[in-house]
């Protein structure tokens, strides 16, 4: 079986490419050319027959990933399945199942059955958890077990994986030479891989046997997302030598993976101040040959816990504007607790709004919906306005809960409504279609 990348390089426009072109209003040949160049990826594991087709990359609408998963403290398969369904209902594009507690195979399989989104994971979570259960020490990880586990998870239907191939002894040496970090290590999978390498003195098997990783991903046409295991967990660590060392390696690996016919994405930070976001994306795009960039948040401040879905939305809007292709949401529970269903819904909504703002800046030619919404608001055509909103049900519920005396207005201004007065003053201009009302 050929991957989407290999088909595109052979000049073949697959059904998945046609669907992306239709959804994004592109010529299918443009999609094929960008898939062939490695600038667009399409998670397409054939073992999932019910999977929605999603394109991620250059020129496309910025996509949203949401994450769920059990922990050692809270472990309910039913709760995670409900969260997965809620995430899909709220409009996320992809899902990462990141469980680290309970029956990890069962959680993954139940989530895969419950949703149509492409689903990914971080295989190191299960690898280290099961090693710890067996040997009481996650550093006793057997690399052969890890590779077998990756294939088992892919066979279940996962369409992308965050795999920490870019951590090696050189990146760990950078951490030591710079005196560690203000915010420590933030990646669970990355940290446990560092611990394995520190305890055994061995190289990261995912880096050492990178060709083998690519072969497994190619077998299932899954996207290899090069995990950001040394990402900064504090803005004062952003772009330190350790993070940059891993980023350079990941960008090199993205090129090597594409040469082998594997669909590749690169993952990015992490905690990063707002003024560094643009530079971060320029570096990734330049060094990776414009590989799709999967940005985790980012979080541009370290003091927003409890509202980090807002902190992250600010970073996500900026990242989207400057060229990120996939944004991982953050929930209000980030840094504090395992998120609830309500938390994941709020996280998806905040991120959808953030990427809409970023896409408006990134693609100035795609602003018609905003213009039409503004005109509907101006003319107080409430039904038309709702049809243009990201969250029409919430808007309707809010308006109806405080209904105005004059149905044309709202209770924010009542009879002091600026729109109503302005339309009275300029009624002739509107009537004469000078500014294309309702266009």
**Is 216 buried (19+), middle (13-18) or exposed (0-12) by CB count in 10 A?**
buried
pLDDT of residue 407: 87
pLDDT > 90 in the chain, percent: 93
Q: Is the pLDDT assigned to residue 196 strictly greater than 60?
A: yes
Q: Is the pLDDT assigned to residue 352 strictly greater than 90?
A: yes
* Cβ(163)–Cβ(226) below 8 Å: yes
**Dist. CA 411–CA 399, nearest whole Å:** 8
> Cis link prior to 298 (omega < 30° from 0)?
yes
Give me the residue spans of the domains in the chain. Answer: 44-50+60-363, 367-431
pLDDT of residue 432: 66
Q: Averaged over 383-408, what is the pLDDT?
A: 94
Give the residue, 166 or 420, on which the prediction is more confident.
Answer: 166
Q: Averaged over 134-153, what is the pLDDT?
A: 98
Burial 118-154 (b: 16+ CB within 10 A, else e): bbbbbbbbbbbbbbeeeeeebbebebeebbebbeebb
Residue 429: pLDDT band with limits 50, 70, 90: confident
**Dist. CA 58–CA 97, nearest whole Å:** 25
Q: Averaged over 147-154, what is the pLDDT?
A: 98
DSSP state of 40: E
- The pTM assigned to this predicted structure is 0.96
User: For residue 337, what are its two tokens?
Assistant: 């607790």
pLDDT > 70 in the chain, percent: 98
Q: Averaged over 251-258, what is the pLDDT?
A: 98
Q: Averaged over 354-369, what is the pLDDT?
A: 96
pLDDT of residue 434: 60
Q: How many other β-carbons are positioned within 10 Å of the β-carbon of residue 157?
A: 21
**Dist. CA 102–CA 125, nearest whole Å:** 12
Closest of 251, 248, 295, 246 to residue 272, by C-alpha: 295
Which residues contact residue 2 at a Cβ distance below 8 angstroms, ignoring those fewer than 6 apart?
Answer: 10, 221, 261
Q: Is the pLDDT assigned to residue 438 strictly greater than 60?
A: no
**Dist. CA 222–CA 156, nearest whole Å:** 12
Which residues contact residue 100 at a Cβ distance below 8 angstroms, ignoring those fewer than 6 apart?
Answer: 69, 70, 71, 72, 125, 129, 188
For 270: left if phi > 0, alpha if psi spans -120 to 50, otherwise beta; the answer is: left
> What is the residue-averaged pLDDT of the chain?
96
**Dist. CA 211–CA 218, nearest whole Å:** 10
**Dist. CA 310–CA 347, nearest whole Å:** 9
Q: Averaged over 227-234, what is the pLDDT?
A: 96
Look at 102-111, 128-137, 300-309, 405-414 and tell me which has the smallest mean pLDDT: 405-414
Q: Is the pLDDT assigned to residue 430 strictly greater than 90?
A: no
Residue 433: pLDDT band with limits 50, 70, 90: low
3 state DSSP class of 164: coil
Q: Averaged over 198-219, what is the pLDDT?
A: 98
pLDDT of residue 439: 47
pLDDT of residue 90: 98
User: For residue 356, what are its two tokens?
Assistant: 């809409």
160 phi and psi angles, rounded to 5 deg: -155, 155
pLDDT of residue 294: 98
CATH number of the 44-50+60-363 domain: 3.20.20.540
Give the residue, 404 or 358, on which the prediction is more confident.
Answer: 358
**Dist. CA 65–CA 68, nearest whole Å:** 10
CA angle 236, 238, 243 (to 5 degrees): 135
Instruction: End-to-end CA distance of the chain: give it in Å, rounded.
Output: 48
Predicted confidence (pLDDT) per residue in 69-85, tens digit:
999 999 999 999 999 99
């Amino acid at each position: 079986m050929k991957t989407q990348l290999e088909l595109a390089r052979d000049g073949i426009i697959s059904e998945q490419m046609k669907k992306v072109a239709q959804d994004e209003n592109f010529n299918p040949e443009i999609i094929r050319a960008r898939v062939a160049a490695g600038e667009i990826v399409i998670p397409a594991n054939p073992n999932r027959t019910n999977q929605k087709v999603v394109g991620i990359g250059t020129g496309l609408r910025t996509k949203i990933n949401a994450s769920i998963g059990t922990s050692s403290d809270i472990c309910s398969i039913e709760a995670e399945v409900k969260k997965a369904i809620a995430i899909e209902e709220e409009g996320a594009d992809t899902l990462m199942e990141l469980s680290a507690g309970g029956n990890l195979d069962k959680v993954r399989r139940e989530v895969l059955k419950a949703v149509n989104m492409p689903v990914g994971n971080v295989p190191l979570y299960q690898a280290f958890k099961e090693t710890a259960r067996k040997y009481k020490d996650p550093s006793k990880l057997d690399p052969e077990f890890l590779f077998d586990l990756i294939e088992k998870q892919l066979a279940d239907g996962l369409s992308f994986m965050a795999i920490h191939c870019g951590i090696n002894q050189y990146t760990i040496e950078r951490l030591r030479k710079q005196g560690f970090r203000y915010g420590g290590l933030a990646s669970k999978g990355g940290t446990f891989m560092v611990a394995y390498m520190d305890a055994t003195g061995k190289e990261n098997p995912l880096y050492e046997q990178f060709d083998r990783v690519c072969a497994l991903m190619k077998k299932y046409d899954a996207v290899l997302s090069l995990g950001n295991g040394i990402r900064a967990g504090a803005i004062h660590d952003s772009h330190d030598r350790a993070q940059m060392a891993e980023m350079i390696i990941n960008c090199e690996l993205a090129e090597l993976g594409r040469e082998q016919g594997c669909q590749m994405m690169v993952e990015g930070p992490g905690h990063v101040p707002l003024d560094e976001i643009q530079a971060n994306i320029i570096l990734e795009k330049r060094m990776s040959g414009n590989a799709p960039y999967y940005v985790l948040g980012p979080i541009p401040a370290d003091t927003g816990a409890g509202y980090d879905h807002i902190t992250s939305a600010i970073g996500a809007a900026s990242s989207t504007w400057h060229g990120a292709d996939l944004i991982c949401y953050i929930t209000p529970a980030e840094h504090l607790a395992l998120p609830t269903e309500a938390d994941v819904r709020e996280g998806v909504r905040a991120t959808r709004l953030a990427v809409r703002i970023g896409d408006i800046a990134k693609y100035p030619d795609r602003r018609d919906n905003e213009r039409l919404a503004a005109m509907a608001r101006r003319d107080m055509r409430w039904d038309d306005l709702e049809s243009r909103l990201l969250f029409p049900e919430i808007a309707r519920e809010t308006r109806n809960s405080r209904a105005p005396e004059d149905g044309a207005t709202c209770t924010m201004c009542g009879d002091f409504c600026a729109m109503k007065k302005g339309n009275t003053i300029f009624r002739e201009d509107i009537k004469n279609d000078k500014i294309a009302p309702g266009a």
